[in-house]
Structure 1
Amino acid sequence: MRGAIQVDADTRQEILDRSAELVTAVLQRNGLTSDDVISILFTATPDLTAEFPAYAARLLGLTDVPLMCATEIAVPGAMPRVLRLLAHVDTPRNRAELRHVYLRGAAALRTDLPR
């Protein structure tokens, strides 16, 4: 499943707080626990370099889940300061039942999704 959040500034604490907010919302809205998570790929826009988003997931207790961070493509005009995730999960739910999570300013990226 997918998710994104826009952060206010490129600071270590802001990246940790927003990353934790995003991971927590994805798990809660989909009724998942850390045992259901197979892996997570995090990306950050090129203007976010103060901390690894995956570190926030580790602080939440996802200590045995493979996590990876990468940089988004620097597309001119793209929304700045965005953290994204792609979570691979094990769930009996079908795809139509999963809820992708777009928070704060990143909600504008997917106006087609229910809030």
Structure 2
Amino acid sequence: MIRGIRGAITVKENNANEMVANTKILLDEMIEKNEIVPENVVQVLITTTEDLDAVFPARAMRMLDGWTYVPVMCMREIPVVNSLEKCIRIMMTVETDIPQDQIDHIYLEGAIVLRPDLSMNK
């Protein structure tokens, strides 16, 4: 079965090191909680809010062993008035046997406000 796994994290500054570090924290958590192996990943879409342009956050994925051939694309979130700032979002499409209601979507730091219902520990 193909499933989408969502995640988001915020950063304090538009800083390349912080963006890559926080994106890696988010990816690590998504991978661990959902037992993801790179061979089962169809694609990874990463978005940033308009106030983040210091680096492509996909650089963090290239730091992970075995993820060299996983397709990844970065893009910009639409600029919705009063939306969460300095936010990096990930949509990972994976092949998994985990039922949809058992997928762990990961929201960290200030991004917890996006989906508090999914941020609770299962």
TM-score, length basis structure 1: 0.96
Corresponding residue for residue 71 of structure 2: 66
Corresponding residue for residue 109 of structure 2: 104
Give the whole-Å Cα distance in 2 for the aligned partners of 1:84 and 1:112: 17
Map residues 72-87 of structure 1 onto 2, 5 A cutoff.
72-87=77-92
| Aligned partner (choices 92, 95, 99) of residue 100 of structure 2 | 95
Give the whole-Å Cα distance in 2 for the aligned partners of 1:65 and 1:99: 20
Asked if 1:44 is matched to 2:48, the reply is: yes
- SS in structure 1 of the partner of residue 117 of structure 2: coil
- SS in structure 2 of the partner of residue 112 of structure 1: helix
How many aligned residue pairs are there? 115
Corresponding residue for residue 28 of structure 2: 24
- SS in structure 1 of the partner of residue 43 of structure 2: strand
Letter aligned with residue 8 of structure 1 = K
Q: CA deviation at 1:35?
A: 2.1
Q: Which runs of 5+ in 2 are unaligned?
A: none
**% of aligned pairs identical?**
36
Letter aligned with residue 69 of structure 1 = C
Give the whole-Å Cα distance in 2 for the aligned partners of 1:64 and 1:23: 16
Give the whole-Å Cα distance in 1 for the aligned partners of 2:99 and 2:117: 19
Q: CA deviation at 1:36?
A: 2.2
- Superposed CA RMSD: 0.9
TM-score, length basis structure 2: 0.90
